């Protein structure tokens, strides 16, 4: 991370949130036949994005939630606000902190859904406290490993979509000031071993580092799919920017001022844009509903080395969790 990159990222947040009004989603062509999964759909950005998709005529919404009771409450709110039939929304359990939960969810989707067109992998956390979930620091498991485990497990189903299957992962301009010291390959030391070492983990920057990791993996996955002989699905990573949501509930200090925050509904428009975007968005960071170049430490030579090393470790980790899953690529 350079000072210029950090300044650009901060400036981008101020400009976007104070001077840019995102386009209101208004084109739902083809959605009436589609099935879309939204993780973390019962609250915040996931709820608002779900509301937009239903308003645009989405055929089937699968709300993937950790708390089924809260999910059912949100489902009733969505049905009331959109006047959609009750069978247009289902609530399924998914705990991104548990690999078994991710595998069970994916198995249910692969075996019971007639079709799957899009996954909006919205669920994520921001915390400065070091805790383990599975064998990783919790943010790494939820924001990164489980997200790509879900992606790999659902790739075959998404490839069957009559439309272009998509996997959408929210991102953040905070990746512009994310430090790369924990990710830089060094002396054959695994990247994950540093990230998961409580003694050296930089938890103050952990959220932005996970968003940087998502960018590296998104770019590498898109490139490998385009080079393969299998059907390409679109994977992109839109930035809703800083919003008034529950994301920072575990952060006790250092939060941006409220006047800078977008409404959750406004931020959700960026996620819906990612869901509706075409092939031009594959492997891309989307900002203000347009493709935008990510930080230089994503695209330069150092970034290229990190991208390859990180993706290689990710594949090895996914294979350990679910042997054979990398063959889906």
Which residues are annotated as catalytic?
Answer: 207, 211
Tracing tokens 């999964």 back to the chain, one arrives at: 37
Residue 54 contacts residue 63 (beta carbons within 8 Å): no
For 266, the token pair is 């406004």
Residue 65 contacts residue 91 (beta carbons within 8 Å): yes
Residue 131 contacts residue 301 (beta carbons within 8 Å): no
Give bridge partners of residue 8 from the DSSP assignment: none
Q: Is the dihedral of CA 250, 255, 258, 262 positive or negative?
A: negative
For 3, the token pair is 């000072």
For 248, left (φ over 0), alpha (ψ -120 to 50), or beta? alpha
């Amino acid at each position: 991370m350079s000072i210029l990159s950090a300044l650009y990222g901060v400036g981008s947040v101020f400009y976007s949130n104070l001077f840019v009004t995102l386009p209101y989603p208004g084109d739902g062509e083809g959605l009436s036949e589609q099935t879309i999964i939204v993780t973390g759909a019962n609250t915040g950005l996931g709820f608002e994005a779900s509301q937009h998709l239903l308003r645009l005529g989405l055929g089937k919404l699968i709300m993937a939630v950790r708390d089924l009771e809260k999910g059912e409450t949100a489902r009733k709110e969505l049905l009331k606000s959109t006047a959609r039939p009750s069978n247009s929304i289902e609530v399924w359990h998914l705990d991104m902190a548990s690999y078994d939960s991710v595998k069970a969810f994916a198995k249910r989707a692969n075996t019971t859904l007639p079709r799957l067109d899009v996954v909006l992998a919205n669920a994520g956390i921001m915390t400065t406290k070091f805790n383990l979930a599975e064998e990783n620091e919790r943010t790494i498991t939820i924001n990164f490993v489980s997200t790509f485990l879900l992606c790999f497990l659902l790739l075959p189903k998404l490839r069957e979509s009559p439309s272009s299957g998509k996997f959408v992962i929210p991102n953040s301009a905070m990746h512009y000031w994310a430090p790369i010291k924990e990710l830089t390959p060094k002396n054959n030391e695994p990247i994950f071993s540093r990230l998961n070492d409580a003694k050296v983990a930089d938890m103050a920057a952990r959220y932005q580092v996970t968003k940087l990791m998502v960018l590296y993996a998104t770019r590498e996955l898109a490139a490998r799919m385009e080079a393969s002989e299998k059907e390409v699905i679109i994977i992109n990573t839109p930035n809703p920017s800083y919003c008034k949501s529950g994301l920072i509930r575990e952060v006790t200090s250092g939060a941006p001022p409220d006047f800078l925050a977008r409404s959750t509904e406004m931020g959700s428009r960026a996620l819906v844009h990612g869901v509706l975007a075409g092939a031009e968005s594959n492997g891309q960071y989307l900002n203000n509903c347009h493709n935008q170049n990510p930080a230089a430490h994503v695209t330069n030579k150092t970034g290229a080395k990190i991208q390859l090393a990180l993706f290689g470790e990710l594949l090895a980790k996914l294979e350990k969790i679910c042997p054979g899953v990398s063959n889906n690529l």
